[in-house]
């Protein structure tokens, strides 16, 4: 997206990486077999797994543009908290420490947050990460249906038959249905 | 600034307004409907998109443009509610509702008397304003029947003219005839719920829904896609006002719908007669309509707000508010939940109409003995996906993981991966009592996109009677979950006092002008050519979803207007 100026681009990447790192830690199917360390390394590079980063990036540039400040302030407070507690920003912390930080956010125990509060910040990042995992791929996340495949959701099927409804087994009938075929979506070109 | 004249103006063309528009139009009255939202079509509802409609709530009132604020008590600061449970376009809430469609019980209309007769006056909490309705179930039965047949409701009778029928709800009030359509096909969540409830000696049944299970009146039958709650139906199988009453209103030749029209005032003259309404048009222009009859049906917030915004020298506390009751006795359902997850089978709860699917009524109303329970009135229990909506975003944001698993990280991923297609939610929809200090007024700090003060709710359900009821119901849900054979059964965290779905009260009906705002027809005691329709008129709320009763009352009001008021305009009571 050429209209992204460098600093906004950096902010968005940082926001999404932060978000992915905070809430998506371990949520992502491709990394199922990897260790947490490899997982984190992959995430702090440019592309968040399953496209969560891409989703949040696009959302913050569009539908959630009014939350840019929320993210900016939230991430600044997060880093201030991590530096104060561990002398390092969040992304450089070890897996165990990151987990401690996330737990503190989740439970509202991380100090120094004013607006957004630690819990508001965590809840929003969590929600947006889930959206990136499970929204239709047309919004930039849920890459190759990674999220839907993970949980076994077949997308927007127009019909379920009585046999489908009576089954006690996993529903596996292909294809997974998405909006891609029906509309031209916000695809990214770097 | 445009000005026009008509016989009737209806503000809000939703569940109730759409019925009045069609019925009065067919009777030859010239009707103008003011609807702040657009008029969409069935084709607009494809493709189904969980992010757009469930998560970003595209069909619902926008919480930024049309905020409704809430505070738990008069000393707290009110903040905008994150989700609004009513409509925002022609057809109103019926476009995106779950379509669960109940008739209230006989004792729902006389909860006060019923309680006093069975348990004594002391059983009613002292501070509750619980009151009988000024009408009985029998008065409303013909209009329930019309609503079910004209709109199209699928279900199985449990009480045909007093005869109990197996497979239906044996606690339902007597109905004159079967439902117009057979029950919807039972999904797996419903099947497991049914078996467990029977084992426990309860009386489960397929929830009646305004979704046609077969082709009906030119409409297609349900395809069980699962996109109901928060979505528009892509084939028109949901009996929304858009595909039922609006075509009738159009065909009458007497109905004009103004979309993008935001009513902000009811006008009245010195004699206290309503003369019409003022509204902002799509481009913000200020318009008026003069009408012989003014009908408010914009849901409870604007029923109250419009009266409060329309005060005059004659009505300094709000139009039609000589009783001082406008804005009082706010009620709402809350829905304590339990989740059940299965290791040995799939449930695939995303299949089939999404909202309360299979129900039991054994713990609703006064269907069970409350003598030793320490609370009165009950809850409707059902099996549903996490937020009555069945996609993975809904599960991720609305289903708390079981104790010991955090909401994030690898353990959470594994939980969701394993159980998304293997869980069922159990919900109790509680009948919370009315209390006079639960109110709707005008927020002094927050304004909507039109510059009008936002409706402000002051409400906290956590009263002794309500807390005991919730605990009792959650135990029933846990027992059901275990009996269903679930590997894991766990509670969702208790709410923080906020009102849940289905808001009622604010312009209560009664038989005494001193203690109520309207009569049984929704007609203002103070201003006979002003009708106020919707759940704002409910004196008590029932554990059942409200809309079919809103619609039956709209039919009853329309009938009274057409057959009596039209010939002789004046008080109907
Ligand atoms: C997701 C969801 C699921 C639901 N599921 C169920 C269910 O399964 N069963 C059930 O019984 N109920 C359900 N409900 C509730 C149901 O939608 C409402 O009870 C019902 O729509 C209320 O009817 P009404 O006519 O009073 O208001 P509405 O149907 O909301 O209609 C009011 C209309 O007035 C318009 N309006 C408001 N203010 C103004 C104004 N100032 N000027 C002009 N127009 C205005 C609105 O845009 C709206 O279209 C659900 C609601 C939601 C949101």
* A176 and A141 fall within a common domain: no
Q: What is the distance between the alpha carbons of residues B136 and B433, in angstroms, rounded to a whole number?
A: 19
pLDDT band at residue B453 using 50, 70 and 90 as cut-offs: very high
pLDDT on residue A183:
47
Q: Are strands B69-71 and B453-458 parallel, antiparallel or unpaired?
A: parallel
Q: Are B548 and B534 in contact, with CB atoms under 8 Å apart?
A: no
**pLDDT of amino acid B336:** 95
Longest dimension (CA), chain B: 72
Q: What is the pLDDT of residue A175?
A: 77
Structure tokens at B204: 């489960």
Same domain assignment for residues A20 and A52: yes
SS3 B4: strand
**Would you state the pLDDT for residue B391?**
95
- Predicted local confidence at residue A181, as pLDDT: 55
Q: Where are the domains of chain B?
A: 2-565
- Counting as low any pLDDT under 50, the low residues of chain A are 1-5, 25-48, 183-190
Asked whether the beta carbons of B435 and B463 are under 8 A apart, the reply is yes
Which chain B residues touch A162 with a CB distance below 8 Å? 185
Residue predicted with more confidence, B196 or A92:
B196
Query: Residue A52: what pLDDT?
Result: 87
Cβ-based neighbours of A3, under 8 Å, separated by 6 or more? none
What is the reported pLDDT for A11?
A: 55
Rg (CA), chain B: 23
Same domain, A55 and A118: yes
Residues A149 and A159 in one domain: no
Mutate to test the pocket of ligand 1, among B66, B86, B104, B384 (most ligand atoms within 8 A of CB): B86
Residues 6+ apart with CB under 8 A from B92: B12, B13, B14, B15, B16, B17, B18, B86, B241, B299
Minimal C-alpha gap between B14 and chain A (Å)? 26
**HSE of A21, CA atoms in CB hemisphere, 13 A:** 31
Out of A29-33, B51-55, B211-215, B559-563, least confident range: A29-33
Nearest CB to B351; choose among A27, A131, A164 = A164
Do A165 and A114 belong together in one domain? no
**B99 Cβ below 6 A of ligand 1:** yes
Do A69 and A132 fall into the same domain? yes
pLDDT range class, residue B408, cuts 50, 70, 90: confident
What top-level class would CATH report for the domain B2-565? alpha beta
Ligand 1 in reach of B36 Cβ (< 6 A): yes
Atom of ligand 1 nearest to the CA of B15: 25
What tens digit of pLDDT does each residue of B490-537 get?
999 988 899 998 999 999 999 999 999 999 999 999 999 999 999 999
Residues A46 and A138 in one domain: yes
Q: Which residue in B508, B533, B503, B501 sits closest to B15, CA to CA? A: B533
In the predicted structure, residue B209 carries a pLDDT above the cut 90: yes
The distance of Cα B176 from the centroid of its chain, to the nearest Å, equals 24
DSSP H or E run through A21: helix A6-23
Counting one residue from chain A and one from chain B, the pairs whose CB atoms sit within 8 A come to 124
pLDDT level of residue B392 (50, 70, 90 thresholds):
very high
CA distances from A132 to A122, A166, B26, B393 (A): 15, 31, 49, 9
**pLDDT tens, residue by residue, B77-121:** 999 999 998 999 999 999 999 999 999 999 999 999 999 999 999
Residue A144 sits in the same domain as residue A88: yes
Q: Quote the pLDDT of residue A6.
A: 53
| The overall pTM is greater than 0.90 | yes
**Residue recorded with tokens 């846990």:** B478
Structural domain that includes position A118: 3-153
The answer to whether the CB of B98 falls within 8 A of the CB of B354 is yes
Is the domain of A69 the same as that of A162?
no
Mutate to test the interface with A, among B220, B409, B415, B422 (most CBs of A within 10 A): B409
In this structure, the answer to whether residues A162 and A137 fall within a common structural domain is no
Residues A102 and B409 sit within 8 Å (Cβ to Cβ): yes
CB B244 within 8 A of CB B266: no
- In total, how many domains does chain A have? 2
Q: Does B392 touch chain A (CB under 8 A)?
A: yes
Average pLDDT, chain B: 97
- CA-nearest of B189, B183, B248 to B221 is B183
Tell me how crowded residue B543 is: count the other CB atoms within 10 A of its CB: 26
Same domain for A159 and A137 = no
Q: What is the pLDDT of residue A96?
A: 87
Q: Are residues A110 and A181 in the same domain?
A: no
Tell me the DSSP string of B308-374: HHT--SS-TTSTT-TTS-TT---EE----EEEEE-SS----TTSS--SS-EEE-TTSTTSS--TTTS
């Amino acid at each position: 997206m050429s209209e992204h100026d460098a600093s906004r681009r950096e902010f968005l990447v940082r926001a999404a990486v932060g978000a992915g790192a905070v809430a998506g830690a371990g949520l992502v199917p491709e990394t199922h077999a990897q260790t947490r360390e490899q997982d984190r390394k992959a995430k702090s590079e440019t592309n968040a797994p399953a496209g969560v980063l891409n989703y949040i990036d696009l959302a913050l540039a569009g539908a959630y543009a009014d939350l840019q400040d929320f993210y900016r302030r939230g991430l600044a407070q997060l880093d201030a908290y991590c530096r104060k507690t561990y002398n390092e920003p969040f992304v450089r912390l070890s897996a165990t420490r990151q987990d401690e930080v996330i737990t503190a956010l989740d439970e509202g125990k991380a100090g120094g947050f004013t607006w957004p509060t630690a819990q508001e910040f965590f809840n929003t990042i969590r929600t947006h990460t889930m959206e990136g995992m499970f929204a239709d791929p047309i919004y930039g996340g849920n890459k190759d249906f990674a999220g839907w495949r993970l949980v076994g959701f077949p997308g927007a099927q127009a019909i379920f038959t009585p046999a489908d409804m009576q089954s006690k087994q996993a529903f596996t009938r292909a294809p997974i249905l998405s909006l891609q075929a029906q509309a031209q979506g916000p695809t990214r070109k770097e | 600034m445009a000005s026009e004249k008509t016989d009737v103006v209806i503000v809000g063309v939703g569940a109730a307004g759409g019925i009045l528009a069609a019925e009065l139009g067919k009777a030859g009255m010239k009707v103008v409907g003011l609807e702040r939202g657009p008029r969409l079509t069935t084709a607009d509802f494809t493709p189904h998109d969980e992010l757009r409609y469930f998560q970003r709530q595209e069909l619902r009132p926008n919480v930024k443009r049309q905020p409704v604020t809430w505070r738990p008590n008069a000393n707290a600061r009110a903040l905008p509610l994150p989700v609004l449970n009513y409509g925002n376009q022609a057809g109103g809430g019926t476009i995106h509702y779950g379509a669960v469609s109940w008739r209230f019980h006989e004792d729902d209309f006389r909860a006060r008397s019923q309680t006093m007769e069975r348990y004594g006056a002391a059983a009613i909490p002292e501070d509750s304003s619980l009151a009988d309705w000024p009408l009985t179930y029998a008065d409303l039965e013909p209009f329930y029947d019309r609503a079910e047949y004209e709109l199209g409701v699928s279900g199985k009778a449990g009480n045909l003219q007093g005869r109990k029928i197996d497979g239906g709800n044996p606690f339902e009030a007597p109905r004159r005839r079967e439902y117009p359509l057979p029950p919807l096909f039972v999904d797996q969540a419903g099947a497991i719920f049914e078996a467990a409830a029977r084992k426990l000696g309860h009386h489960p049944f397929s929830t009646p829904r305004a979704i046609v299970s077969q082709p009906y009146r030119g409409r297609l039958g349900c395809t069980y896609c699962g996109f109901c709650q928060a979505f528009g139906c892509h084939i028109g199988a949901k009996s929304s006002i858009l595909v039922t009453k609006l075509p009738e209103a159009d065909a009458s030749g007497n109905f004009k719908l103004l979309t993008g029209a935001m009513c902000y005032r009811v006008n009245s003259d010195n004699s206290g007669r309503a003369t019409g309404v003022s509204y902002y048009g799509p481009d913000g222009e200020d318009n008026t309509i003069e009408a012989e009859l003014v009908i408010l049906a914009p849901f409870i917030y604007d029923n109250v707000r419009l009266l409060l915004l329309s005060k005059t020298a004659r009505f300094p506390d709000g139009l039609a508010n000589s009783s001082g009751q406008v804005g009082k006795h706010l009620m709402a359902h809350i829905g304590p939940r339990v989740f059940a997850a299965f290791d040995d089978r799939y449930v695939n709860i995303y299949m089939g109409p999404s909202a309360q699917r299979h129900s039991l009524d054994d713990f609703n109303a006064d269907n069970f003995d409350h003598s030793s329970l320490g609370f009165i009135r009950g809850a409707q229990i059902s099996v549903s996906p996490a937020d009555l909506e069945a996609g993975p975003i809904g599960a991720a944001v609305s289903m708390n993981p079981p104790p010991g698993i955090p909401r994030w990280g690898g353990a959470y991923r594994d939980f969701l991966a394993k159980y998304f297609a293997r869980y069922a939610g159990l919900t109790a929809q509680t009948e919370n009592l009315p209390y006079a200090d639960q109110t709707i007024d005008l927020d002094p700090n927050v304004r909507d996109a039109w510059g009008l003060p936002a409706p402000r709710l002051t409400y906290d359900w956590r009263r002794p009677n309500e807390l005991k009821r919730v605990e009792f119901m959650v135990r029933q849900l846990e027992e059901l979950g275990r009996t269903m054979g679930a590997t894991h059964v766990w509670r969702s965290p208790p709410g923080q006092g906020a009102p849940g779905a289905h808001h009622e009260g604010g312009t209560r009906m009664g038989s005494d002008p001193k203690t109520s705002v309207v009569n049984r027809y929704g007609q203002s005691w103070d201003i006979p050519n002003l009708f106020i329709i919707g759940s704002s008129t409910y004196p008590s709320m029932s554990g059942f979803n409200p809309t079919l009763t809103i619609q039956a009352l709209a039919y009853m009001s329309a009938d009274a207007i057409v057959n009596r008021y039209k010939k002789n305009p004046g008080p109907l009571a």
